[in-house]
Structure 1
Amino acid sequence: MRFKWNYDFIKISKYFYTFSIILIVLGILSLAIFKLNYGVDFRSGSNVDVTLTKPITEAQAQPVVEALKLSDDPSITIGDGRMNVRFEKVLTDTQENQFKQAFNKQLDSGASFEVNTVDPAIAKELERNALWAVLAASLGIIIYITIRFEWRFAVAAVVAMLHDAFIVIAIFSIFRLEVDLTFITAILTIIGYSLNDTVVIFDRIRENLRFSKQKKSGDIKTIVNNSISQTMTRSLNTVLTVFIACVCLFIFGSESIRMFSLAMILGLVFGAYSSVFIASPLWLLLKNRQKPKAKTPSKTTA
């Protein structure tokens, strides 16, 4: 037996709009003041992955790394049998050898190293390409939904999609979480899931409008609420399945995919409610502002 969600989703959407607006304003302020905490993928520098042969704490590693004076503020992250040291400046071959020798001598003689370097030109190019990827996805979605549905559906879907992406970016900026290439992958994946949920609801709205004789403003609102109710169980099942997998990746996965998993978790949560409380009410608002078609005068027979 299918569970029926008998709620006035459109009525309570104003609370979600308020919540989203607050988050967006905080995000804009955070981005303007602090910007994003870019990882080495998006800013120049060297990233050294160290495979350890014995346990080392951050308190032990910090004085050794800082004593080398290779960077103003090196960042150290220690995981299970691994350590990552990020330098804000690109290390020369001499500096790399200096780091390796000091590490082997003072901390772990059997440690092995992998050095990844990103110069300023590549960092800027990666940042630019990431922005173009999001813009290209938005344009493709507008064209697709406009052809399949109508432009009002396209506008509502893109607003919801950009809402989800920006909220996740805002949270990462507010809490100073690191943004790298896996984060961009997460954003594009979030866009896909958000769009999928939105299109499912829009498809049901279009179907219900086609077979309904109710065309007044209040009647269309009822159709939207019914359409959301009819697709709610399906949407929740889809989101929960991926959500559980992402939570498991976040808890049990390696350090390299932790931020990807966190971005996915946030995106799935905001994507689930934006399809219901952002995209659908926005389409209804645009639909209600549609000018009624002029009636053609009926011909009178002589």
Structure 2
Amino acid sequence: MRLRLVPQDTNWDFFKYRTATFGVSLVMMVASLALWLTMGLNFGIDFRGGTTIRTQSEQAVDVGVYRDAIAPLELGDVSISEVFDPSFAADQHVAMIRIQAQDAQESVSGDTIDSVEQALQGVDDTIRFTQVESVGPKVSGELIQTAVLAVAAALAAILFYIWLRFEWQFSVGAVAALFHDVLITIGVFSLLQIRFDLATIAALLTIIGYSINDTVVIFDRLRENLRKYKTKPLQDVMNLSVNETLSRTLMTSGTTLIALIALLVLGGDVIRGFVFAITWGVIIGTYSSVYVAKNIVLWLGVKRDWSKPSDTTGNQFANIDA
């Protein structure tokens, strides 16, 4: 007897309240846009500019001790990470310290760098600064433009792919769902003022990939069922398709969330923003695959005169016991 998270043959009406769920999505998108425009984002060093310091010491790097030593200086956003390299000697321990620009200055002043060095030498007298580099606002602005272009290019590529594989209605629904996921995630970051840096952009691209994967699985089953049930109403075929892939959806999302929640709790401050973005993205992406992408396809309608019968009875990954 196998354990199931959902019954084997479900018949839940996911589109019974489609107007309400679609309305909620629109409200969340408008609210996210308003938060973004009014509160802004808490940009990290990557987008705000600042100074990167490379340190070297004979003692092992302790990121927590370094951070506690620098904290009294109140320098704002400070990122500390240890650098590993097989070519390093046994007593060569290297760390990278990134400090945000202070008071709209292009870089951290020399006095501030001296204060940081003295604070770190208080916990490790062998530490020394081997390299100091500054990232100005011009470079940071270019990074923001590049990040926006990366997300836009991902959405455009997915739009083209879905258009070729399915119908244009499917591609519009899929990209609308992805845009919904990205915008609401940005709104949450703006509301909570979580640090927004290049790692967050990587998380947004990961969300896009995860969400479109779930959407395509349901689209695949929907296309097969449309060929199988040529006279059945579109809404009923959609409900059938979502129910048939429900086990797969819950299994994939559930196991992913278990790993992400563990990282969110135990991963530390350095990766917390990145992990939070992906965790939220898995939840909102699973929701949008049904209540945004499928709602738009249902509203636009699809062609029903399929010329060829389906070669398969279903996607091999759609009926996983969960």
TM tier, shorter chain?
0.7 to 0.9
Show the counterpart of 2:114.
Answer: 98
- Say whether 1:157 aligns with 2:159: no
Show the counterpart of 1:259.
Answer: 273
Letter in 1 for 2:99: R
Query: Taking structure 1 as reference, are residues 222 and 144 closer, same or farther at Cα in structure 2, changes over 3 Å only?
Result: same
Equivalent of residue 87 in structure 1, options 100, 106, 115: 100
Percent of aligned positions that are identical: 35
Other structure's SS at 1:136 match: helix
Query: Taking structure 1 as reference, are residues 116 and 160 closer, same or farther at Cα in structure 2, changes over 3 Å only?
Result: farther
Any conservation in 2 of the 1:103–1:109 contact (CA below 8 Å)?
Answer: no
Per the TM alignment, residue 62 of structure 1 is displaced from its structure 2 partner at its CA by 4.7
Letter in 2 for 1:128: Q
Q: Which stretches of structure 1, 4 residues or more, deviate above 6 A after TM superposition?
A: 82-85
The separation in 1 between residues aligned to 2:10 and 2:23, in whole angstroms, is 23
The separation in 2 between residues aligned to 1:237 and 1:155, in whole angstroms, is 27
Letter in 2 for 1:15: A
Task: Give the TM-score taking structure 1 as reference length.
Answer: 0.80
Show the counterpart of 2:211.
Answer: 194
Task: Give the TM-score taking structure 2 as reference length.
Answer: 0.76
Show the counterpart of 1:284.
Answer: 298
Per the TM alignment, residue 229 of structure 1 is displaced from its structure 2 partner at its CA by 0.3
Any conservation in 2 of the 1:52–1:112 contact (CA below 8 Å)?
Answer: no
**Which consecutive unaligned segments of at least 5 residues does structure 2 have?**
56-60, 82-94, 306-322
The separation in 1 between residues aligned to 2:287 and 2:132, in whole angstroms, is 42
Any conservation in 1 of the 2:51–2:108 contact (CA below 8 Å)?
Answer: no
Higher mean C-alpha deviation, range 228-237 or range 105-114:
105-114
Aligned residue pairs total: 279
Any conservation in 2 of the 1:61–1:107 contact (CA below 8 Å)?
Answer: no
Letter in 2 for 1:160: A
Per the TM alignment, residue 86 of structure 1 is displaced from its structure 2 partner at its CA by 2.9
Per the TM alignment, residue 103 of structure 1 is displaced from its structure 2 partner at its CA by 1.3
Any conservation in 1 of the 2:46–2:143 contact (CA below 8 Å)?
Answer: yes
Any conservation in 2 of the 1:164–1:267 contact (CA below 8 Å)?
Answer: yes
Show the counterpart of 2:316.
Answer: none
**Which consecutive unaligned segments of at least 5 residues does structure 1 have?**
67-72, 294-302
Map 1:1-302 onto structure 2 (within 5 A).
3-47=8-52, 51-52=61-62, 55=65, 61-63=70-72, 65=73, 74-75=76-77, 86-88=99-101, 89-91=105-107, 94-95=110-111, 97-104=113-120, 109=125, 117-214=134-231, 219-287=233-301
